[in-house]
Amino acid sequence: MAGSEKGSYYITTPIYYVNDKPHIGHAYTTLACDVLARFKRLDGYDVKFLTGTDEHGQKVEASAEKAGIDPQTFTDQVSQNFRDLTDVCNYSNDDFIRTTEDRHKKACQKLWQVLEDKGFIYLGSYAGWYAVRDEAFYTETELTKNADGKRIAPTGAEVEWVEEPSYFFKLSAFEDKLLALYENDPSFVGPNSRRNEVISFVKGGLRDLSVSRTTFKWGVQVPGNNDHIMYVWLDALTNYLTAVGYPDESAIEYQNFWPADLHMVGKDILRFHAIYWPAFLMAADLPLPKRIFAHGWWTNEGQKISKSIGNVIDPLALIDEYGLDQVRYFMMREVPFGKDGDYSKQAMISRMNGDLANDIGNLAQRVLSMVFKNCEGKIPEHGDFTDADKELLDSVNALHEKLRNDFDKQSFHRGLESVWNVISAANKYVDEQAPWGLKKTDLARMGTVLYVLAESIRQIAILLQPVMPESMEKMLNQLSLPVDVRKFSDLKTPLPTGVEIDKPQGVFPRYVEEGGA
């Protein structure tokens, strides 16, 4: 798009199913997308960041009936909960899509028509096992039995036998094409463990996919046959196209942003995104997304999260207790992204008091306090840099490229680890250079040391904006850095000297439990 330095970048969350309120899994996926979207914007890209809600299907119809209201009223209420979460968590999404919008129904029906016209959809009848909770069909070999002897899906959802007329999509025709896609583009599905699962599933053989239902009415009607409602996953996946203007392929947003650069999903819905979705797009002769990444699940203090146990983690409650940026940092740093991870209160407090309060918070507070107190409240002039100065500055200067490489692989934890290695080196440099002692012996050298540290803090704070935007804004404000020079392209322009700063305030207070010392 005109005005962007490096082109466009389109990133999506899955659209969240509106049969319940948001939980930590929803917050986690959207946060990862938000961090990457903010990073790309600061790195010079024109970004479109999409999230939204999936509002059709048998499960929603049943939930609305249970609540005693019509499905549209029900989805209006629950979808708002997800909108509210984006505000509370400071997500920077550019669009919020709902599958009940007219623009989406139009896109779904057009895609269906294209698939049908090209001979990839045909009418038949379906008989098999269906999980309402998953909105997914399963083969007999995928099922196990629970303690009550009832058949259950691999997800634990109960299944029911369904027999009804159905349209089918010729998924079986895409087995070889999909395998060639995974082979020719190893980065199409990440991480590698999930890619291997997808390849294994496809190699096991693909059957044609039932893509319509007749036993309920809450969904997008099949063009030309109002007795049929589109299968919720064909409906839901199309949202990524809807949001960029499809079916108008000449639309500016479609031209600029399709194909998507990254679909971020939870591992439980990878099959739909890495198998069904590219097959639908291949059949319609539409470009494929560039990458699909599946992250893991959270447990709570070592236990699987479940409503029946009552240990569901409410992201809003976490933010209330610990602070927004503290929670954002913890979720991106604590777990290797892509793997399952455990939430524990002790781990949260450890990150807050260790990484945030002690490491970066203490570094900024003591350095800027010394500048304010000993340099007439101004960023000091500097002399020639020593080897020790250059070593720290070189490690700071290398961070941008390291972060870019790690974030492009969705390896957020590794990128943050690199930043904290440099923060640790900066704290060590403070102790070794002892600027408080230089005040009495070598004022010029003290100025240089404090300049090197202030410059390091500037670059670190700029780079951490995607993860902790509000806190880093405070830190950059304390350096009196103008708002218009906080992009990554500004990293190479050194901190100007002689600029006045205010007396610094702590950005990351220590967390003390009630009743604690």
Domain that holds residue 252: 8-296
Burial of 480 from C-beta contacts in 10 A (0-12 / 13-18 / 19+): middle
429 and 359 part of one domain = yes
Q: In this structure, what is the dihedral angle of CA atoms 398, 403, 404, 410, given to the nearest 10 degrees?
A: 160
271 and 349 part of one domain = no
394 and 276 part of one domain = no
290 and 361 part of one domain = no
- Structural domain contains residue 401: yes
Task: Tell which of 296, 329, 355 closes a domain.
Answer: 296
279 and 371 part of one domain = no
CATH of the domain at 194: 3.40.50.620
- Structural domain contains residue 171: yes
- Structural domain contains residue 499: no
Distance CA 61, CA 66 (A): 9
Low-confidence ranges of the chain (pLDDT < 70): 1-4, 302-303, 305-312, 515-517
Task: Tell which of 296, 317, 335 closes a domain.
Answer: 296
Distance CA 38, CA 413 (A): 16
pLDDT of residue 2: 43
Each as own residue / partner, the long-range contacts of residues 220-225 (CB below 8 Å, 24 or more positions apart, any chain) are: 220/56, 220/99, 220/104, 220/105, 220/108, 220/109, 221/109, 222/112, 222/167, 223/109, 223/112, 223/113, 223/116, 225/167
pTM, full prediction: 0.93
287 and 372 part of one domain = no
Tokens 């599933």: give the residue: 201
- 75 by DSSP, 3-state: which? helix
Integer-rounded Cα radius of gyration of the chain:
26
250 and 394 part of one domain = no
- Structural domain contains residue 509: no
- Structural domain contains residue 371: yes
56 and 181 part of one domain = yes
CA 142, 210, 107 angle in degrees (round to 5)?
Answer: 125
- Structural domain contains residue 483: yes
pLDDT of residue 516: 52
234 and 376 part of one domain = no
173 and 67 part of one domain = yes
pLDDT of residue 141: 87
- Structural domain contains residue 223: yes
Question: What's the number of domains the chain is made of?
Answer: 2
pLDDT of residue 311: 67
Distance CA 215, CA 130 (A): 12
- Structural domain contains residue 337: no
291 and 351 part of one domain = no
CATH of the domain at 383: 1.10.730.10
Task: Tell which of 296, 313, 336 closes a domain.
Answer: 296
pLDDT of residue 338: 76
350 and 281 part of one domain = no
Distance CA 41, CA 92 (A): 11
